[in-house]
């Protein structure tokens, strides 16, 4: 498929903050990778699931083979909070760690990024909300993703929940990314279907929102469209057959390059709404994105510019586009995403535990999200309420 450059005169900013090593078995290189950093004391950050899976022990054993000193923080939770970050940062300072290894999904990697900020920058994590607020360089951080979802291993962004205000803080820019990512498809084999589905649809949302974002460029477009192709073509197989290495590899690569895309392009209305849903209702981030995606696509598809862009998205999804008008293209994409959600058992909002009485707060908080800056069609509180009702 040919990539159409949207505006040949437009200027853009594009960064990839992380060195990436991708392939089956790359996680086994962790010992030598850390050794090359000339550090001795290492902190591993992960959650209970990673501990129970045996993956954490695999990584730590590789570090011990290189005679590195390792301490572990195992208390990461979904949608990590400011209090968890503070506790982990105090733990890291107490042990005088020289590098951090994040093992797991987006929650573990985001938590590790925030902890890394506090190791060299004063104060609380709250004061770094926004972009390019982290002024002092951080310590080496190696990210080892175990899900095909957030793309956090290659983004200069961390998302942390403000527990008092029940809202997500987005911290990004300089000194916020991982130094190195070891991206190993073998670590995603056997991931539970529900987690595979939620994280996979999260990655698809990243790719689609990056492509139609106001901050998109030809550099982000290339990655976004390829990610759409890889994820839409492999999510069902990877969910239904957890041991399919090819499908798992394609999903992990799709997630990674979707992260590369949205890190520079920004996200949109799906994320603006999903953040308060996760904060107020405890719905996993990827699941919330998946639920909202077809309804936000229908909303954005009213915009003439977005309708033209939808042709490229449809082509990447393998949908027919020749001789079909733009409105029908939008409809076909909405139906495709809805069908993918159904096939991988994504619930509706009511089934995920969201109550109608939460709608007003969710809509009001969504309007305050930074992602609203990049969404291609302006949404009002009433528009968001309608999307929530449609997704319910």
Tens-digit pLDDT profile for residues 216-237: 999 999 999 999 999 999 999 9
Q: Given a cut of 60, is residue 186 above it in pLDDT?
A: yes
Q: Is residue 9 classed exposed, middle or buried when 0-12, 13-18 and 19+ CB atoms within 10 A define those classes?
A: exposed
Q: What is the pTM of this model?
A: 0.94
Is domain 193-391 classified as CATH 1.20.1090.10? yes
Confidence band for 12, pLDDT divided at 50, 70 and 90: confident
CA–CA distances in Å: residue 117 to residues 132, 138, 198, 235, 377:
12, 6, 28, 34, 34
Q: Given a cut of 60, is residue 2 above it in pLDDT?
A: no
Q: Which two structure tokens, joined as six digits, stand for 165?
A: 């205000």
- Which whole number is the average pLDDT over 336-362? 97
**Over the stretch 15-24, which tens digit does the pLDDT of each residue have?**
888 999 999 9
Confidence band for 14, pLDDT divided at 50, 70 and 90: confident
Q: What is the mean pLDDT of the chain?
A: 95
Whether residue 125 contacts residue 160, with contact meaning beta carbons closer than 8 Å, is answered with yes
- Which whole number is the average pLDDT over 198-214? 97
Let me know if the fold of 19-188 is the same as that of 193-391: no
Q: Where are the domains of the chain?
A: 19-188, 193-391
Confidence band for 203, pLDDT divided at 50, 70 and 90: very high
**Over the stretch 91-125, which tens digit does the pLDDT of each residue have?**
999 999 999 999 999 999 999 999 999 999 999 99
- Which whole number is the average pLDDT over 44-71? 97
Q: Which among 204, 330, 207 has a CA at the least distance from the CA of 265?
A: 207
**Over the stretch 285-334, which tens digit does the pLDDT of each residue have?**
999 999 999 999 999 999 999 999 999 999 999 999 999 999 999 999 99
Q: Which two structure tokens, joined as six digits, stand for 233?
A: 């073509």
* Domain 19-188 class in CATH: alpha beta
Q: Given a cut of 80, is residue 3 above it in pLDDT?
A: no
What residues contact residue 124 under an 8 Å CB cut-off, 6+ apart?
Answer: 82, 86, 118
- Length of the chain measured in residues: 392
Instruction: Please give the span between the terminal C-alpha atoms of the chain, in angstroms, as a whole number.
Output: 36
Whether residue 255 contacts residue 191, with contact meaning beta carbons closer than 8 Å, is answered with no
Q: Which two structure tokens, joined as six digits, stand for 318?
A: 């393998």
pLDDT for residue 5: 56
The Cβ-side half-sphere exposure at 115, using a 13 Å CA radius, reads: 37
pLDDT for residue 15: 80
CA–CA distances in Å: residue 10 to residues 5, 74, 182:
10, 45, 34
Q: Where are the beta strands (DSSP E) in the chain?
A: 19-22, 41-47, 69-76, 99-104, 130-131, 141-145, 157-162, 167-172, 180-183
Percent of the residues in the chain that have a pLDDT greater than 90, as a whole number:
93
């Amino acid at each position: 498929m040919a990539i159409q450059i949207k505006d040949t005169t437009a200027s853009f900013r594009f960064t990839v903050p992380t060195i990436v090593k991708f392939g089956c078995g790359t996680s086994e290189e962790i010992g030598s990778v850390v050794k090359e950093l000339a550090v001795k004391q290492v902190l591993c950050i992960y959650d209970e699931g990673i501990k129970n899976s045996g993956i954490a022990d695999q990584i730590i054993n590789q570090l011990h083979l290189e005679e590195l000193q390792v301490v572990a923080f195992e208390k990461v939770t979904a949608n990590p909070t400011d209090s968890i970050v503070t506790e982990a940062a105090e733990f890291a300072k107490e042990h005088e760690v020289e590098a951090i290894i994040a093992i797991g999904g987006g929650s573990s990697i985001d938590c590790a990024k925030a902890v890394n900020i506090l190791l060299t920058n004063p104060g609380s994590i709250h004061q770094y909300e926004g972009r390019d607020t982290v002024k002092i360089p951080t310590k080496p951080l190696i990210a080892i993703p175990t899900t095909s979802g957030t793309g956090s291993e290659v983004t200069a962004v961390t998302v942390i929940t403000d527990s008092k205000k029940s809202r997500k803080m987005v911290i990004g820019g300089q000194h916020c990314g991982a130094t190195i990512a070891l991206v190993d498809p073998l670590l995603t084999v056997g991931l539970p279907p529900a987690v595979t589905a939620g994280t996979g649809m999260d990655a698809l949302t990243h790719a689609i929102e990056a492509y139609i974002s106001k901050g998109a460029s030809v550099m982000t477009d290339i990655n976004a469209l390829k990610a759409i192709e890889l994820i839409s073509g492999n999510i069902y197989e990877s969910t239904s057959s957890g041991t399919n290495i090819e499908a798992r590899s394609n999903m992990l690569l799709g997630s990674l390059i979707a992260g590369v895309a949205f890190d520079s392009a920004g996200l949109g209305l799906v994320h603006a709404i999903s953040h308060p849903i996760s904060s107020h209702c405890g719905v996993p981030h990827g699941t919330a994105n998946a639920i909202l995606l077809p309804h936000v696509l229908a909303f954005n598809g009213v915009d003439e510019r977005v309708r033209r862009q939808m042709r490229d998205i449809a082509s990447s999804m393998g949908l027919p586009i020749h001789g079909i008008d733009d409105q029908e293209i939008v409809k076909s994409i909405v139906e495709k995403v809805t069908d993918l959600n159904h096939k991988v058992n994504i619930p509706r909002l009511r089934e995920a535990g969201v109550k109608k009485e939460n709608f007003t707060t969710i809509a009001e908080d969504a309007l305050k999200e930074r992602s609203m800056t990049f969404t291609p069609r302006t949404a009002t509180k009433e528009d968001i309420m309608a999307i929530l009702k449609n997704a319910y």
